[in-house]
Structure 1
Amino acid sequence: MINNTVKLLDVVALVVDLPQYNLWRGQVGTVVETLAEGAAFEVEFSDRNGRTYESLGLRLEQIMVLHFEPVPPGAKAEMITA
């Protein structure tokens, strides 16, 4: 089973547009804090030089964890609901 649990320092992508913050679906950030007992996360968005341009709390349904390793054959995705 694929572990979709969000953890500190996970790389995540937005799955929604947040125009009020000039952030758009697909932008990548890093989880820097767990909030509301794991129902939300502080995500930091940085440029290629490592300068943070936005940091905000996001709900679980607004982000997805990015995986950098191959998924084993036959693995089933675990759906997380908030």
Structure 2
Amino acid sequence: MTTNKIKLLDVVALTVDLPSANLWRGQVGTVVEILADGTAFEVEFSDRYGQTYESLGLRPEQLMVLYFEPASPNSRSEMVTA
């Protein structure tokens, strides 16, 4: 992952397990600080009540930016019926 894709306040997911911090691949956090000229990021992990349970510096290759918008302007959602 390139560092120019990760920005302040991006919602990210871990791409690796970090057992020493009790964090696991797929856990979601928020970028709260850009470190070392964009070569690292302070990511805060919070519970559903907004209480931070971990905050640590991570490298870009340990993160994946999550998107909540369509991938392209021409994308349309499709209704699936069962």
- TM-score interval for Structure 1 and Structure 2 normalised by the shorter chain: 0.7 to 0.9
- Give the TM-score of the pair, scaled to structure 1: 0.83
Higher RCO structure, 1 or 2 (CA under 8 Å, sep 6+): 1
TM superposition outliers: structure 1 runs of 4+ over 3 Å? none
Cα RMSD after superposing both structures:
1.5
Q: Number of residues paired by the alignment?
A: 71
Cα distance in 2 for residues equivalent to 1:70 and 1:51: 30
Q: CA deviation at 1:73?
A: 7.2
- The higher radius of gyration belongs to 2
Give SS of 2:5's match: coil
Provide the TM-score with structure 2 as the length reference. 0.83
CA distance in structure 2 between the aligned counterparts of 1:71 and 1:15, rounded to whole angstroms: 20
Gaps of 5+ in 1: 75-82
1:21-32 correspondence to structure 2 within 5 Å: 21-32=21-32
Deviation at 1:30? Answer: 0.2
- Partner Cα separation in structure 1 for residue 54 and residue 38 of structure 2: 20
